[in-house]
Homo-oligomer: A and B are copies of this chain.
Amino acid sequence: MPDIPAFDPIFDRELVRRALAEDIGRGDVTTQATITPGTRSSARIVAREAGVIAGLPIAALAFAQIDPNVQFETLVADGASVTAGTALARVIGDAAALLTAERTALNFLGRLSGIASQAARCVAAVAGTHAQVVDTRKTTPGLRLLEKYAVRMGGARNHRAGLDDGILIKDNHIAAAGSLTLAMKRARTYASHLLKIEVECESEAQVREAIAAGADVILLDNMTPDQLRSAVTFIHEHAPAIITEASGHIGADPEKLAAVAATGVDLISLGALTHSAPNFDVALDFDS
């Protein structure tokens, strides 16, 4: 059994159970038919390409849920940067259990390592600047916490985890509330005093209003690097405590990221970290 707590919102046992149930359905008929009960196997999980690993505890859970007697030995830690061919874990146990859990374990590992690797590339692109790369809520339905974990494993940071642990007032909220100032005021009154308030601004006028209204964070959306630099400078001069964030179709392109980072903005949020990270190629190789 992997060495993670029994109750952990990130490494959610029920999520793994659903994934296994989805793949196995009423039973792995091929394995049941062809494998003699009691056969034992050993295998290694191997990276087929270079990247940053995330999800080994989930892969371990997949095997453990099929059969708690499967031994799963982690050879590298989540967050490790590996080359193609690196063995990530060693798996020993009932051959049928290994074959039945294989695809589910690899599907998690491929997706999460894909995100960690994408995050690591983006973080590298802004190296040497002040900017931090953060994720968004554009995650795969059902995998939010795991994908945000993978983002951290890749060296980037997390934005809010959901609609309840941070306040981000967008254009539509402002329109419905009547004004940015009014929306800010209501948010302060309603929410716990432990939540900061971020406001999306698309113009200098809005930035001024946000500063006056006491925003804690200003999101600068869909701006060119020049517009961004100008807005960031303005905010730094008039309200140095305010955190600045850039967003909007920035994508994972290193040059574009570097240009945005060079504007002095504090945070760059990227949907592409999670929603368009290509799968990381990983396989289970049985010892012959």
Nearest B residue to A173, CB-CB: B34
Tell which of B32, B111, B186, B196 touches A140, judged by Cβ atoms closer than 8 Å.
B111
Residues of A in contact, count (CB < 8 Å): 103
Asked if residues B286 and A279 are in contact (CB atoms below 8 Å), the reply is no
Interface assignment of A128: CB less than 8 Å from any CB of chain B: no
Do most interface residues of chain A lie in helix, strand or loop, or is the interface mixed?
mixed
Nearest B residue to A108, CB-CB: B141
Asked if residues A5 and B195 are in contact (CB atoms below 8 Å), the reply is no
Asked if residues B191 and A198 are in contact (CB atoms below 8 Å), the reply is no
**Can you name 21 A-B pairs with beta carbons within 8 Å?**
A6-B65, A7-B17, A9-B27, A23-B163, A25-B26, A29-B164, A29-B191, A30-B167, A33-B186, A107-B137, A107-B140, A140-B140, A140-B143, A157-B192, A158-B192, A161-B164, A165-B194, A166-B192, A193-B196, A194-B198, A276-B278
Q: How many copies does the complex hold?
A: 6
Surface stretch bound by B, among A84-92, A95-103, A224-232: A95-103
> In the assembly, what is the distance between CA of A161 and CA of B22, in Å?
9
Binding site for B on A (CB under 8 A): 5-7, 9-10, 15-36, 39, 41, 64-68, 94-95, 97, 99-100, 103-104, 106-108, 110-111, 114, 134, 137-145, 157-170, 172-177, 183, 186-187, 189-196, 198, 216-217, 243, 245, 266-267, 271-272, 275-276, 278-279, 286, 288
